[in-house]
C-alpha cells in the first residue's frame, strides 16, 4: 500500500481533473469577458448569433463583459484550491449558469430559434456545466471543506457519516451567533497533510486521541486512517497499543507524548524530523494539536466516553 494515502494527502488525478474542468471554464469566461470589455463591437460581429437579439450596444456589452470577468476571477480563485474554495467556484459558475438558463428560457418562450440556441449552446451551457461537473466530482468524493455548506446541511451530513457521535456538533450549532460556521472553518486544518506519509500521520493521530481517552474520537480517527489507505492491521495494532518498534511506533508515541504533555515529545519529534524532514514532523504536530480539540470539547460538554467503555475494534 502506498504511503501517500488517498484521502488527506496531495490531490490525486481525479482532484486534478476536477480542478482542470473549473479552470477551463475560468479561461473561457476570462477570454470572453476581455473581448467584450476591450472590443465590444468586434465581439458583437464575431458572435453571429448575437445579432439576432438586436443592434449592438457597447455599454451593455461591456457591462456583461465585467460580469464574465468577475465570474472568471471567482472560478480561477476557487479552482486554484478547489477542495477549500469550492464555494467561490460555485459562485463563479452561478453567473455562467444563469446566463445559459436565460438562453434556454428564450428558446422555450419562442424568442430565439432552436437553430440559434444549439449554435450558441457550447458557449452558453458548456462552461457552467464543466465547472459544475468539477465541483460535483469533488462533492461526490467528499474531497471538500465543509464551511461553504449551510450549517443545518453540514450537521445532517455529519449525522449520516458518524451516527450517534455528533451530539457535540448539535450543541455547537445551538450556541448563539455563528459558532458553528466558525467551527466549520476550523475543521480542514485537522486533516492537513502534504509531506507526511499517511501511515505516520494516522499513527500520530491515533496516539493523541487514545491518550485523550476518548473512545469514539479514537475510532473515528481510525476509520479515517482506513479511508486514507492505511492497512487495517496497522490501524488495529495502534488501537491495541501494540505497534512493533520503528517509525510507526515513534509517530504513535509522539502523538501520545504531545497529548499528555510529556517531555519525550521533543526528542521523538526531533527523531522524526531527522528521518523524514522537518515538514513531516510539523504536520504531525499540527494534526495532533488539532485532533485533541474533539475530546476536549466533548469532555467540556459532559458527553465524552472513555476508551475503556468502547470496543476499539475496526
Helix H or strand E encompassing 212: none
Over the stretch 35-50, which tens digit does the pLDDT of each residue have?
999 999 999 988 867 7
**Where does the pLDDT of residue 292 fall: very low under 50, low under 70, confident under 90, or very high at 90 and above?**
very high
What's the CA gap between 30 and 19, in Å, rounded? 16
Which pLDDT belongs to residue 165?
A: 85
* Contact of 78 with 71, CB cutoff 8 Å: no
Which pLDDT belongs to residue 110?
A: 83
Res 4 pLDDT > 50: no
Contacts of 182 (CB under 8 A, 6+ apart): none
Over the stretch 61-109, which tens digit does the pLDDT of each residue have?
999 999 999 999 999 999 999 999 999 999 999 999 999 998 898 888 8
CA 196 to chain centre: 18
85, 111, 117, 253 from 204: Cα distances, Å: 28, 63, 57, 7
Which pLDDT belongs to residue 215?
A: 86
What's the CA gap between 273 and 171, in Å, rounded? 38
What is the grid cell recorded at 11?
Answer: 490531490
Q: Is 139 exposed, middle or buried (0-12, 13-18, 19+ CB in 10 A)?
A: middle
For 18-49, give the DSSP string.
HHHHHHHHHHHHHHHHHHHHH-HHHHHHHSGG
11, 163, 184, 219 from 199: Cα distances, Å: 17, 26, 26, 16
What's the CA gap between 276 and 299, in Å, rounded? 34
* Contact of 292 with 260, CB cutoff 8 Å: no
Which pLDDT belongs to residue 199?
A: 95
Which of the given ranges, 15-24, 116-125, 221-230, has the highest pLDDT on average?
15-24
**Where does the pLDDT of residue 128 fall: very low under 50, low under 70, confident under 90, or very high at 90 and above?**
very high
Domain boundaries of the chain, sorted by first residue: 13-140, 191-309
Amino acid at each position: 500500500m502506498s504511503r501517500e494515502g488517498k484521502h488527506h494527502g496531495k490531490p490525486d488525478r481525479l482532484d486534478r481533473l476536477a480542478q482542470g474542468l473549473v479552470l477551463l471554464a475560468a479561461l473561457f469566461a476570462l477570454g470572453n469577458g476581455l473581448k467584450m470589455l476591450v472590443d465590444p463591437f468586434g465581439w458583437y460581429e464575431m458572435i453571429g448569433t448575437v445579432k439576432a437579439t438586436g443592434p449592438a450596444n457597447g455599454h451593455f456589452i461591456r457591462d456583461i463583459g465585467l460580469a464574465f470577468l468577475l465570474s472568471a476571477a471567482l472560478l480561477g480563485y476557487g479552482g486554484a484550491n478547489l477542495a477549500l474554495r469550492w464555494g467561490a467556484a460555485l459562485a463563479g459558475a452561478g453567473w455562467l449558469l444563469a446566463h445559459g438558463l436565460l438562453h434556454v428560457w428564450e428558446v422555450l418562450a419562442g424568442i430565439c430559434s432552436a437553430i440559434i440556441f444549439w449554435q450558441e449552446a457550447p458557449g452558453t451551457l458548456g462552461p457552467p456545466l464543466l465547472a459544475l461537473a468539477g465541483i460535483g466530482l469533488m462533492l461526490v468524493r467528499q474531497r471538500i471543506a465543509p464551511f461553504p455548506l449551510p450549517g443545518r446541511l453540514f450537521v445532517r451530513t455529519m449525522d449520516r457519516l458518524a451516527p450517534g457521535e455528533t451530539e457535540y456538533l448539535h450543541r455547537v450549532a445551538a450556541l448563539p451567533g455563528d459558532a458553528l460556521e466558525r467551527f466549520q472553518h476550523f475543521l480542514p486544518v485537522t486533516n492537513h497533510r502534504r509531506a507526511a506519509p499517511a501511515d505516520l500521520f494516522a499513527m500520530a493521530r491515533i496516539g493523541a486521541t487514545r491518550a485523550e481517552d476518548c473512545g469514539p474520537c479514537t475510532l473515528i480517527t481510525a476509520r479515517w486512517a482506513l479511508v486514507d489507505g492505511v492497512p487495517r492491521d496497522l490501524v488495529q495494532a495502534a488501537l491495541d497499543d501494540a505497534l512493533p518498534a520503528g517509525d510507526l511506533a515513534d509517530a504513535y508515541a509522539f502523538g501520545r507524548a504531545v497529548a499528555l504533555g510529556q517531555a519525550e515529545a521533543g526528542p521523538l519529534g526531533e527523531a522524526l524530523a531527522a528521518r523524514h524532514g522537518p515538514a513531516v514532523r510539523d504536520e504531525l504536530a499540527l494534526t495532533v494539536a488539532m485532533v485533541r480539540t474533539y475530546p476536549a470539547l466533548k469532555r467540556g460538554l459532559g458527553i465524552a466516553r472513555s476508551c475503556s467503555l468502547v470496543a476499539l475494534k475496526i
